[in-house]
Structure 1
Amino acid sequence: MASSARGIGRGLRRGIGRGFGRVVASTAASTMEPVALDVAVDDLPGLRSPGRLLRLLAAHPTGVDAAVVLPCAALALIAAVLHPEGQALSLVFAAVLLVPLIWRRSRPLAVFALLAAIAFVQWLLDVTSPGDAALVIALYSVAASRPRRWTLLAAGVTELGVVLAAVRWGGPPVREMFSAFVFLTGMMIAACATGVNIGGRRARLAYLEDRAARLERERDQQNRLGAAAERARIAREMHDVVAHNLSVMIALADGVAFTLDTDPAEAGRAVQAVSDTGREALGEMRRLLGILRDDAQQDTRAPQPGLGDLDRLVEQVRATGLPVTLEVGGEPLALSAGAALTVYRLVQEALTNTLKHGGPAATAQVRLRYGAGALEVEILDGGPLAGAGGQGSAGGPAGAGGQGSAGGQGSAGGQGLVGMRERVAAFGGIVVAGPRPTGGWRVHARLPAAPDPVAPADGPAPGTASPGGPVPGGPVPRWVAAQRVAG
């Protein structure tokens, strides 16, 4: 601060003050340290990507600090050469003022306070030094990295130093004193404005980088959750397909063993049914495994089973010797393809468990009832009294069924019932499963229909065979209540 006033009061007449002003201006400009970005800022509103020079300076902060200190040190040496009298103490103060700038990035407030104290001692000793420019640089560092209240406090301290320097070294004429005051105040304002601008830019870029990182983490988390949900869906499909078809094949194979000697023709039909069931299972397995491949270029996917395939499912179970009743009734409502598939898998899982656990005297009933905006599905089996099991519902603990339970432990750990609840809950429905007082097991599900009823169309429905293969879920044709009892 003292050398700035000296340059105006005396140095201007000797040709030093003008050069000092240019050096200080270039020094302040060189302290604008850009932030190296890892994100593309060209698309951000109000921001431009830094040029090569700014990126180079940001990558070498030590070089920037050297560019700040060296011009001031060079100016101090030039002043000592031009005016050797009494310059030893000036060089000492210059060194003491410039060295703390090494820590201006990490401790800007401490460096500024230290430089302000040194400058005050310099003012008391009436020693001028070009190193006073370090105080302006320290003020910039505070403005660029600290809150506004600290910037205002540092600016007030600097302005006090400007007044003291202008009074002591501005020169006897009031005009020179005022010129020194205006010049030094302008330098202080420029340092504060530059620091605040750079600090705001840094804060905005840091916020954008943090937001981009958080969005990337959220995207990765969503991808992981989506992958987990897809794996769970595939696992449920695999469980339903494998458990049902293998149970049917085992039951048919057992029947072949009993009828091979007494009724070869019936045994041959059972063997053919085993072959057909195996082929159907293989086809569904291939379809399920096919969704794991990249099918982005495929326009269509294999049709999913729906309500129109319940007849074929019931006939398949009947072929194993399990008497099954299929009852349907009510005014049909529109169901989405996913909901229709859910109903099909629910019935398939319940009948599979009855087939596995019901015993030789077991029977099963499948009831579909369309009510007020919802489809109710009920599967009952008439097996022996359930040995163990509790009430289960969507979101609640799975009941563990014993012998004769249609909704019991179709797989290890009760995963069959868990899959039922997850499927139905995905469409806003609920599943209740538990033992019947008279023996056997009961599975009851309620699925809401689509919000907009669709006009019924002709096509296969439960109670009518599907000549063209599986029919995707969708509008169910109108049909009257039907009942089919296994003969």
Structure 2
Amino acid sequence: MLVCGYGLDVQARAFMRPALEWRFPRGDTVLAAAVAGVCQLDVWNTPGFVPREGDRLALSLVFLASSVALLWRRRAPLAVLALVYTVSPLLYLAVGAPEALGTLLPQLVAVYSVGRYSDVRSLVLAAPLVLLGTAIHELKDPHFALNGPTIFYWALLAAAWPVGHAFRQREQTLWALSEQADELQRRQDAEARVAVMAERARIARELHDVVGHGVSVVVLQVVAALGLLEKGELNLATQRLLTTERSAREALAEMRRLLGLLDENDDASLVPQPGLSELGDLVAQTRAAGLAVELTVRGQPMELPAGLELAVYRVVQESLTNVMKHAQPASAHVLLSYERNDVVIE
């Protein structure tokens, strides 16, 4: 029963959703209701507002239509302006009533809405319509007088479109800034993802070098220790195994450091990366594994970027590992030359 009830509720909400989407903004509804209320008070509570009492109902309906039309001022501002400036003034003059809020308020809102919700091109159509409607209204109104209130209303009418257009420009500027901020954020996120992927690839390469070198050293040391055990040379075999343990621990420490780079809160990520100053230790470790290797440094050592020193270290480490794997028995010679603008490895 609960499932059925839930399903019916979902269906009911889905059925009602299209109707809800046609609802007008609350602010527009309140505005239209307020304009309609003022217009109706103007029609029904003003003595002598119309020459004939029978025309009062006609004016009331026209003002109501003009007020309700304001609900569409966002979707069709030009159509609302055309309605307000044609039907309402013409019928208003036909019954011989004086100019009042019933005409002025809808006109002001309609002109403002054209500036607020239409582009500048709409002014080509709106301006002649407003000028023509206002001229006909004022010239045909027997009660027209060029006084302070009339001039004040014309000033309001002239300012309505620029004010609406200014709000439109501000909204478009804010929207453009928001889009730029979103685009910048997307670019930063994309660059961050690329940087993370590049860093992971670098760590993977370093792990490959560290594991390959460490395992090769351990294998060679164990093989050498087994050979010494067969010959009964226990002391030498013990030394080989101790060297194996030290090499394995160093490899594990290096792996822990690399994996710690993935965790910002891990203190292992703060350990300095190996560089050219550690080449001597690398050569000594390789020599202890049974490979005859010599290191020669030429030129005046210079300070290099940490990334470049790490790259040189990894190249030498990988080369010695390959020699131990594939060129036994053999010897190796590492030549590090500091030239004027280059570092050469042979």
Q: Same fold (TM over 0.5)?
A: yes
State whether residues 323 and 363 of structure 1, in contact with CA within 8 Å, keep that contact through their aligned partners in structure 2: yes
Kindly indicate whether structure 1 or structure 2 has the higher relative contact order, using CA contacts under 8 Å at least 6 residues apart: 1
2:289 counterpart residue number: 320
What does residue 250 of structure 1 align with?
219
In structure 2, list runs of 5 or more residues that go unmatched.
Answer: 1-22
1:65 to 28, 40, 50: 28
State the match for 2:130 in structure 1.
158
| Counterpart residue number, 1:368 | 336
Matched, 1:99 2:68: yes
Q: Does 2:237 correspond to 1:274? A: no
Q: Deviation per CA, 1:371-410: give whole Å up to 9, x if none.
A: 23110112xxxxxxxxxxxxxxxxxxxxxxxxxxxxxxxx
| Post-superposition offset of 1:195 | 0.8
Partner of 2:44: 80
TM-score by length of 2: 0.78
Higher helix residue share: 2
Question: What is the deviation of 1:362?
Answer: 4.2
Contact conserved, 2:36 with 2:64, CA < 8 A, in 1?
yes
Cα deviation for residue 104 of structure 1 reads 1.2
Aligned residues: 313
Q: Contact conserved, 1:142 with 1:150, CA < 8 A, in 2? A: yes
Correspondent of 2:310 among 341, 346, 351? 341
Q: 2:180, 2:92 → 1: CA distance? A: 48
Instruction: Extract unaligned runs of 5+ from structure 1.
Output: 1-59, 379-487
Compute the RMSD of aligned alpha carbons: 2.9
What is the CA distance between 1:271 and its match in structure 2?
A: 0.9
Structure 1 residue 368 displacement after superposition: 1.6
Superposed structure 1 runs of 4+ greater than 4 Å apart: 123-129, 177-181
Once the two structures are TM-superposed, the CA of residue 72 in structure 1 deviates from its matched residue by: 2.7
CA contact (8 A) 2:210 2:255 kept: yes
- 1:198, distance to aligned residue in structure 2 (A): 1.8
CA contact (8 A) 2:86 2:133 kept: no
* 1:179 CA drift (Å): 5.8
TM-superposed CA distance for 1:140, in Å, is: 0.7
Spell out the pairing of 1:110-125 with structure 2 (5 A cutoff).
110-119=79-88, 121-122=90-91, 125=94
Q: Name the CA distance, whole Å, in 1 between partners of 2:36 and 2:265.
A: 69
In the alignment, the residues of structure 2 paired with residue 367 and residue 376 of structure 1 have an alpha-carbon distance, to the nearest angstrom, of 8
Indicate the residue corresponding to 2:5 in structure 1.
Answer: none
Q: Distance in 2 between matches of 1:308 and 1:197?
A: 67
Secondary structure at the aligned position of 1:134 is classed as helix
The residue number in structure 2 matching 1:259 is: 228
2-structure distance, mates of 1:306, 1:214: 40
Percent of matched pairs sharing the same residue: 33
CA distance in 1, matches of 2:26, 2:270: 62
Distance 1:117 1:161 in 2: 7
- Asked if the contact 1:72/1:131 (under 8 Å) is kept, the reply is no
What is aligned with 1:56? Answer: none
**1:49-92: CA deviations, max 9, x gaps?**
xxxxxxxxxxx973322332223322332313544341222123
